[in-house]
Chains A and B, each alone.
Chain A
Amino acid sequence: MQDYRFDDNIDNFPIAMAYVPWQHFDQIFDNLEKAYRIGTIFPDLDKPFTGRRCV
């Protein structure tokens, strides 16, 4: 199985497959109560659902 790096050109990936970019450990929220309310400790994953588009 070929391993695709996340910075490879997405046009070279096999079509019709879904891809999830690999998460890298960067930082966590300083304010853990805020993280608790948001639902993740990772600022990268703070993706509020708007019902329409990605944030």
Chain B
Amino acid sequence: MMLDRTQRRDTVVPWKAGHDTRPASDPQQDKARRFRDAALPHLDDVYTLARYLLRNTGDAEDAVQECYLRALHHFNTFRGPAIKPWLFAILRNVCRGEFARRSGALHYDPPSDGEASGEDATPLWQEPQGSPETEILQQRNAETIRRLVADLPQPFREAIVLREINDLSYREIADVVGVPLGTVMSRLARARSLLRQAWVAEEGTTK
């Protein structure tokens, strides 16, 4: 120091305190805040997916909470651009763990080979001979449709919820589910066919 205290007091020093009035923000809290801003607006969407995947309110809530904790923990690795598919992918992993924890009776994900090509006959789906395509769909209330969607087998239910309800693109669905685009397309085709059949059958039972 060239100047002693007294001299320094008489010297005009550029005012720098402006920089000091705010403490450097804590990186942990900064991360939490950014995460909050980015992820919390999607809570309803994540919860919706959890409800359809797990078909149970309590499990869905637990899975969503766990999903958000994991997402915060790994927020540093999030590279964008869209956070919603990223959250979905995490949720899906949480749900997978949840299914593993439950009894083995619940089969989460069928082997993807064998169902990738659309035309092979599969036990899960067969375009009915009488082709319900000509029937006019009756309007059903939302609760009925929720049930019809919830009753679809897992991979098809997932595909249709991601596409129709959560409005993801095929590419995003492929990334979330971790399957090729072609599989997304064939699953979606089958999902809609199953849903339509169920829809028509529902009318048969209630009308």
A associates with B: no
B residues near A, CB below 8 A? none
